[in-house]
């Protein structure tokens, strides 16, 4: 194969990898929003994948491995009538079979209100986050082996609304807490 064809093949593979990574990240949001959160661990994470959602909550929202991830989602997601996770900018760097991705997310959350609730009530809270993911190519495709949530806004990721007790003192690590050193972790 000529050098030009080899270079083209590398570029095509990198583009395919980036698109596959984006698809994995989008699956996370789609599965949560379709109330199929129990599928997230296998569809998004490696078997030993770790999600650092919030370290300062009680209990901490840090889970490692499919069963722990499923339990974490099982504690949080039934509290919501609905969610909508919108992913924005992606910065993806691929290095062989490893990759990093930084992704903006704005997500609306409607708490379970019961049968007498107004069906048109606004979101109870909206979060603005940065997902920082480390991914690995597996036989099942690209999977996250480490995810950290970083909050936008001083001390909170809250855009509007109020954070329920199970998410306090706040979801994610304050991205601005490391102003001099970047997004940290």
CATH number of the domain encompassing residue 93: 3.10.450.50
Is residue 182 included in any domain, yes or no? no
**Is residue 184 pLDDT above 60, yes or no?**
no
Rounded to an integer, what distance in angstroms lies between the CA atom of residue 170 and that of residue 156?
Answer: 6
Is residue 180 included in any domain, yes or no? no
Is residue 165 included in any domain, yes or no? yes
* Angle formed at CA 92 by CA 7 and CA 104, multiple of 5 degrees: 155
Tell how strand 141-151 and strand 173-174 pair up. Answer: parallel
Q: Give the domain extent around 126.
A: 3-175
Is residue 184 included in any domain, yes or no? no
Sequence length of the chain is: 185
Beta-carbon count within 10 A of 62 CB: 15
The model's confidence at residue 112, banded by pLDDT at 50, 70 and 90, is confident
Alpha helices in the chain (DSSP H): 3-33, 40-44, 66-76
DSSP helix/strand/coil, 20: helix
pLDDT value of position 3: 92
**Is residue 56 pLDDT above 80, yes or no?**
no
Which two three-digit tokens encode residue 121? 């009530």
Q: Which residues on adjacent β-strands are paired with residue 44? A: none
DSSP helix/strand/coil, 124: coil
Q: 39: cis peptide before it, omega within 30°?
A: no
pTM: 0.84
> Which residue is associated with the tokens 């690995």?
136
pLDDT value of position 152: 77
The number of distinct structural domains making up the chain is 1
Is residue 133 included in any domain, yes or no? yes
Is residue 183 included in any domain, yes or no? no
């Amino acid at each position: 194969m000529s050098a030009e064809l080899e270079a083209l093949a590398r570029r095509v593979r990198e583009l395919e990898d980036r698109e596959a990574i984006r698809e994995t990240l989008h699956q996370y949001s789609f599965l949560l929003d379709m109330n199929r959160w129990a599928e997230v661990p296998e569809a998004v994470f490696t078997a030993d994948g770790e999600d650092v959602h919030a370290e300062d909550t009680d209990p901490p929202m840090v889970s490692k491995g499919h069963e722990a991830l499923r339990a974490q989602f099982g504690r949080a997601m039934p509290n919501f009538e609905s969610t909508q996770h919108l992913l924005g900018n992606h910065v993806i760097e691929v290095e062989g079979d490893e990759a990093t991705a930084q992704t903006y997310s704005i997500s609306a959350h409607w708490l379970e209100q019961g049968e007498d609730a107004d069906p048109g009530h606004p979101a109870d809270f909206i979060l603005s986050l940065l997902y920082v993911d480390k991914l690995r190519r597996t036989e099942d495709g690209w999977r996250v082996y480490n995810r950290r949530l970083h909050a936008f806004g001083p001390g909170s990721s809250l855009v509007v609304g109020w954070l329920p007790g199970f998410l306090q003192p706040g979801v994610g690590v304050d991205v601005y807490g490391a102003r001099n050193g970047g997004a940290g972790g």
